[in-house]
Amino acid sequence: MNTRYFTITDPARESAAVGQAAEILRRGGLLAIPTETVYGLGADGLNEDAVRHIFEAKGRPQDNPLILHIPDAGWLARYCKNVPETAYRLAERFWPGPLTMILSKADCVPLVTTGGLDTVGMRCPDHAVTRAIIAAAGVPVAAPSANTSGRPSCTSAAHVREDMDGRIDGVVDGGACRVGVESTIIDLTCTPPRLLRPGGLPLEDLREVLGEVAVDKAVTQPMAAGEKPRAPGMKYRHYAPKAPVTVVTGAPRASARRLLASLGERDGVICFDEFAPLFAGQIVHRLGASGDKLAQSQRVFDALRTFDETQVPAIWAQCPDSAGLGFAVGNRLKKAAGFHTESADEGVLVLGITGGTGAGKTTLLRALERHGALVLDCDAVYHEMLRSDAPLRADLTAAFGEVFAPDGGLDRQKLGKIVFGDDAALARLDGIIFRHLPRALARRMEASGARLIALDAIKLIESGLGTLCDVTVAVTAPEEVRVRRIMARDGISEDYARARVRAQRSEEDFRADCGAVFENNYPTPAQAALAAEEFVDTIIKKSKED
Ligand code: TXA
Ligand code: MG
């Protein structure tokens, strides 16, 4: 079959194309249509043959009912019986929009459409092109998501082409889907109303109108064999990647730490934007910023589709909290994972401590130790890794040749000569270190079970480690103080000490990078220790309040 492609942006001015698309529906053909949630695979919902063709084209089980799409709430009474007043209230408030209501079906709606049920899902999509086509066709449009059964839903016409080209009569390209996850489904035939699928309309919004809303078990748990969820579709896994998926819940930084600690070298990653640099070298799909749930819902299916073309042995995904659109995003991820989830440890406070030589980080680190903190010296960990971390050693050898001495230790002079004065080589070296060090630290943090952890790192921010920290602290002191400290500590001349201080990033840079500053400039060590104590107390107290 030759699939026709329509691009319609303004239905009022492109009425000829709208008419041709509507004609496909009226004739009993299959037409992929854009909606604000995902693309639908539409046919005349009153035409049994046409509806059967939908199931064939999708490879969809016959018992999985379809939603009827209508251009406005005025059509409800044609296809539904005993429409409750709440349905009209919901329509008034949320239609057109990502809400499907389950109602008692009228006799004219065939059982093929409803998978044999005496109820029917009704939805008015928020897409002007599609509403114009339905109105022109004059029939309610039965439309499941336009993906092949078992694949992620289509959020662009290109996805639809991938799955349906040659199998259907037409595709209407109406641009990328604004919401990206399917509609929220609410069953209004029971009391209290029951959420069957979280979707583009947040549950909180529904509760504002309906008061109490029950959440169907199938939304949060896998179905046992033989168990029947109220939305038959919820028992099918909508996407079954070859690789096992693990979804990690918990606060974004905590789940990032868990991912980084657990990840295999070739595993795929679905993460929030701010953590993506930590996973350099892996196949990464960004879900959007951790605070931007609309971006996450727009990208979640794309993320899952990405991995279809790869050979990753496993996929790890960060999961948003379940407020607002996060409920739907998390549900789609968890379904893809067969509800295989881990929850990251949330009660852990990780502090990143940075600052130049002589600024006095040690004072703060000692105070943290007195509070029971596990202090990880990033430089020391790096040196240990140079001996024991095979992937790090392999990357260094691949980039710089045989830089390890016969006894196994790094030949510092040799590496030093290669990178000295060569900015590109130095950047390459940093890139390698920054790829391996954060995951080694994450593994140590996760394995330690410590509730309070301090990372001591001069390059806290450049290495990406800062993004794993709940609080970043710059320790600073005036240049004169630092110079005297270094002279006393390392027994070097003033000129040399000053040169070292000036070779480092400025105090301003450290301050600008960090969430908090500890100004370590006290007349005596005892006073400094006391100030550090108070500083740590305040940070811990504040973190408990948040
Ligand atoms: O956003 C959406 O709802 C998209 C766009 C195209 O409108 N459509 C969509 O359709 O997601 P579909 O078929 O992929 O998912 C519909 C879900 C299925 O899980 C189905 O079992 C459930 O709705 N459903 C449909 N009619 C039902 C009914 N009468 N009772 C219970 N569940 C129903
Ligand atoms: Mg679907």
pLDDT in tens, 288-324: 999 999 999 999 988 888 888 888 999 999 999 999 9
φ, ψ of residue 511 to 5 degrees: the values are: -60, -45
| Under 8 Å between Cβ of 489 and 531 | no
Can you tell me the distance from the alpha carbon of 445 to that of 457, in angstroms, rounded to the nearest whole number?
Answer: 15
Q: What's the whole-model pTM score?
A: 0.93
Strand partners, 514: none
Each residue of 395-449: pLDDT tens digit?
Answer: 999 999 999 998 889 999 999 999 999 999 999 999 999 999 999 999 999 999 9
Helix (H) or strand (E) holding 283: strand 283-286
The answer to whether the 245-343 and 349-545 domains have the same CATH topology is: yes
Q: What are phi and psi of 119, to 5 degrees?
A: -115, 165
Tokens for 161, please give them: 């082409």
Cα(213)–Cα(201) distance, integer angstroms = 14
Best mutation site among 182, 189, 238, 331 for ligand 1 pocket (most ligand atoms within 8 Å of CB): 182
Query: Per the structure block, which two tokens stand in for 60?
Result: 């969809």
Buried-exposed string 428-455: b where 16+ CB fall within 10 A, e elsewhere = bbeebbbbbbbbbbbebbbeeebebbbb
Give the CA count within 13 Å in the CB-facing half-sphere of 157: 16
**Residue nearest (by alpha carbon) to ligand 1 atom 3:** 183
Expressed in angstroms and rounded, the spacing between residue 67 Cα and the centre of ligand 1 is: 5
Ligand 1: which of 103, 177, 185 to mutate, most ligand atoms within 8 Å of CB? 185
What CA–CA distance (Å, rounded) separates 193 from 495? 77
- Cα dihedral 476→478→483→489 (10° resolution): -40
Separation between Cα atoms, residue 37 and residue 154, nearest integer Å: 9
Q: What is the pLDDT of residue 346?
A: 83
**Is it true that the peptide bond before 96 is cis, omega within 30 degrees of 0?**
yes
Contact at 8 Å (CB) between 453 and 373? yes
Question: Hey, what CATH class is 245-343 in?
Answer: alpha beta
Residue environment code for 48-68, b if the CB has 16+ CB neighbours within 10 A, otherwise e: eebbebbbebbebeeebbbbb
- Which pLDDT value is given to residue 266? 93
Strand (E) positions, 22-140? 31-33, 40-44, 67-69, 80-81, 99-105, 119-123
Q: How far apart are CA 469 and CA 110, in angstroms?
A: 57
What's the gap in Å between 156 CA and the centre of ligand 1?
Answer: 19
CATH 3.40.50.300 fits 349-545, yes or no: yes
Which residue's alpha carbon is at the smallest distance from atom 6 of ligand 1?
40
Structure tokens at 382: 């790096």
| Alpha helices, DSSP H, located in 263-408 | 293-306, 326-336, 361-370, 378-388, 390-400
Any atom of ligand 1 within 6 Å of the Cβ of 144: yes
* 119 C-beta closer than 6 A to ligand 1: yes
Q: Residue 248 in contact with residue 334, Cβ under 8 Å?
A: no
Task: State which amino acid sits at residue 170.
Answer: G
The pLDDT, as a whole number, for residue 141 is: 98
Phi, psi of 386 (to 5 degrees): -60, -25
pLDDT of residue 151: 84
Distance 141 CA to ligand 2 centre (A): 15
Using alpha carbons, select from 353, 518, 487, 376 the residue that is nearest to residue 438.
Answer: 376
CA of residue 464 relative to chain centroid, distance: 18
Q: What is the pLDDT of residue 171?
A: 98
DSSP alpha helices (H): ranges in 337-478?
361-370, 378-388, 390-400, 412-419, 423-448
Instruction: Tell me the C-alpha distance between 463 and 435, whole Å.
Output: 8
Mutate to test the pocket of ligand 1, among 64, 67, 122, 145 (most ligand atoms within 8 A of CB): 67
Q: What are phi and psi of 351, to 5 degrees?
A: -110, 135
User: What's at 198, amino acid-wise?
Assistant: P
Q: Which residues of the chain have pLDDT under 50?
A: none
Q: Which two tokens stand for residue 252?
A: 């974004």
Scored b (16 or more CB within 10 A) or e, 115-153 reads bebebbbbbbbbbbbbbbbbbbbebbbbbbbbbbbebbb
Q: Which of 460, 465, 453, 452 is nearest to 512 (CA)?
A: 460
Nearest to 520 by CA among 354, 360, 365: 360
User: Domain ranges in the chain?
Assistant: 4-219, 245-343, 349-545
At residue 371, the pLDDT reads: 96
Q: Is the CB of 196 under 6 A from ligand 1?
A: yes
Distance of CA 378 from the midpoint of ligand 1 (Å) = 51
Which CATH topology does 4-219 take? DHBP synthase (3.90.870)
